[in-house]
Copies of this chain bind each other. A is one copy, B any other.
Amino acid sequence: MARALSERAETYSSRIGATLNLRRVLVRDPEKERPVKIDPGLLTVRPEEALSGDVDIVVELMGGEHPAYELIKDSLSRGRYVVTANKEVMAKHGPELLGLAAEKGVDVLYEASVGGGIPIISPLKRDLSANEISSIRAIINGTTNYILTRMSREEISFNVALRQAQDLGYAEADPSNDIEGQDAVYKLAILASLAFHTHVRPEDVYREGITLLSPQDFRYAAELGYAIKLLAIARREDSAIQARVHPALVPEEELLAKVDGALNAVQIEGDLTGRILFQGAGAGSLPTTSAVMADVLDAARAVVQGGRPLPWRYTAELSIRPLAELVTRYYIRLEVADRPGVLAGIARAFGDHAVSIASVIQKQADEAAQTAELVIMTHPAREDAVQGTLLELRDLPEVVSVGNLLRVDG
């Protein structure tokens, strides 16, 4: 960011009709070696010093909830525009911070918090604002998409794929926020809040990570015509919203199924536009700089133009629909005893819960253990009925184990 600001100063000032000056840089350790040369006189470790004086725009890139949240709040209170890449703060405190910004006649801009360099916040706030949005379906975590792409192509286990991702810098040493889906939850909460004009909190989003996926799941999914993706899904149904992050079977002919590696993609459905897809690099220093600097230039334009930015309004009162009420199709993988009559008992368990089976494939009989693998695809069914079925299946003597349950989306 500092590099773009200094190297492109002339271009940027010609684009906004004003000069951008880096006034202060708040750091933890001023002695640390930095990839970009910054005038040491600008460095400070004291927030008070960073925020005081003649500053129009504060850029927050520290990450994490604290003290970023307090710093953003403090900046807005002083009437500064704030540009942030902080998904956790915006997912948790977005409405409060946007409200404070409106009160002070400034704005908080957070394009870089979701989808890296892909424009997505701004299209939701502006370009799609004539639409009623009905759904968001997104691949918004590059780490997990990279891991899933490797697992799908190379038939390797989750742990091997994770280690490779770590070796190549696609996953952090502590990858839990990514692989458990928390990162995607923050991002989805931000997108859903914008799309539906209501505050969707991170705890409103059902979350399931990718750690339980096995190579078989990818093999069977491919046979059935699906890719497996960690999807972030938010749908509006009447006055309720369903929001969830979990691995899902996506029909392989869909563009979302073809978004591979560390790429991100967001598909938005509006009642006027129909389905729109945005795709690109979801992370990385340069794409993040692109988004942060776009917001900085936007804030600078607002400062130059004068006038009060129009506050973002949460105009809808929508409830959150619990996952139990989800209706979708399911993929269920079971390890069962390999003997006659087994399928009848299993089918009965599904029937007891009014879950209708669409297809059954028997796989990989293990002669030594006298077990076989069953892959069952259901017709659309309610989540609670399917979970009830699973409970009953676990108690059946002929079911050795429940391998995995995956939802189909698309």
Contacts and interface: CB of A to CB of B under 8 A. Distances in A.
A287 B274 contact: yes
Interface string A267-287: 000111111111111001011
Interface in A101-116: 111, 116
Given A129-B15, A307-B307, A278 B277 contact: yes
Given A123-B123, A286-B272, A306-B307, A313 B130 contact: no
A46 interface: no
A403 interface: no
A301 interface: yes
A348 interface: no
A118 B268 CA distance: 11
Interface stretch (A6-14, A137-145, A215-223): A6-14
A71 interface: no
A117 B270 contact: yes
B270 A290 contact: yes
B274 A117 contact: yes
A contact patch SS: mixed
A400 interface: no
Contacts of A130: 4, 8, 12, 289-290, 292-294, 296-297
A127 interface: yes
Contact of A310 (B122, B280, B301, B311): B301
A128 interface: yes
Contact of A290 (B117, B118, B258, B272): B272
B111 A119 contact: no
A78 B176 CA distance: 59
Given A127-B111, A128-B119, A290-B270, A277 B276 contact: no
B117 A315 contact: no
A131 interface: yes
B306 A306 contact: yes
A14 B289 contact: no
A298 B120 CA distance: 17
B290 A281 contact: no
Given A123-B123, A130-B297, A310-B16, A280 B287 contact: no
14 contacts: A4-B272, A14-B313, A15-B129, A15-B313, A17-B313, A117-B272, A119-B126, A127-B294, A129-B297, A130-B289, A272-B290, A272-B293, A277-B277, A304-B310
